[in-house]
A and B are shown apart, each in its own frame.
Chain A
Amino acid sequence: GENVEQHPSTLSVQEGDSAVIKCTYSDSASNYFPWYKQELGKGPQLIIDIRSNVGEKKDQRIAVTLNKTAKHFSLHITETQPEDSAVYFCAASRVGTSYDKVIFGPGTSLSVIP
């Protein structure tokens, strides 16, 4: 089955700096890679996603890159703000005519220091 690894497990950055979180996946059939932000005591919230037919996607301060050959994908947050502090999860799934289960990485706890 699919296995998703994520690094680093914790990340501290100064406000205004950039944060990068990297993930790898094992199942070459995976074609959908969402990123979630989870605040304490809440469910995960989708912040950005990318499909395997795209190499990069950007939404304001957030961008995701995908290297299908290497099975790597990364989240980039620029101009970080204190409210970006949370746990971030990468995930992988197969989508087509239906949506398969989402397998999560272990998470990255991001702290943005004012």
Chain B
Amino acid sequence: GAVVSQHPSWVICKSGTSVKIECRSLDFQATTMFWYRQFPKQSLMLMATSNEGSKATYEQGVEKDKFLINHASLTLSTLTVTSAHPEDSSFYICSATEIRGGYTFGSGTRLTVV
């Protein structure tokens, strides 16, 4: 079946630095990728939707200058958390869709900002 690889699985960074998270579709072309954030014991909250070659669409309340999303190819999307602060610490999860249908989720990235 479809596989989405997300990397890194966990990262610790200092406050004020930037962190990049990668999401790759391994065996299919992902026309659309979604980025979610999940706080402990809470549901997944959609941050943005990205289509290959175009600008991402951000959900209300998500700072587009802080969470930079790039979807440069049909198999790769990246999320960069810029000038990270402790309140950005969370579990970030990507999801990809393909023409055959369905959503495939990555394994998530645990970000801790110290």
Contact = CB atoms under 8 A, between A and B. Distances in A.
Tell me if chain B binds chain A: yes
Interface of B: 6, 31-32, 34, 42-46, 49, 91, 93, 95, 97, 101-108, 110
B105 A45 contact: yes
Contacts, number: 51
A46 B102 contact: yes
Interface of A: 34, 36, 41-46, 49, 89, 93, 95, 98-99, 101-107
A44 B101 contact: no
Chain B binding surface, main DSSP class: strand
B101 A95 contact: yes
13 contacts: A43-B107, A43-B108, A45-B105, A89-B43, A95-B101, A98-B97, A99-B101, A101-B49, A102-B34, A102-B103, A104-B43, A104-B44, A106-B43
B101 A101 contact: no
Contact of A98 (B31, B46, B95): B31
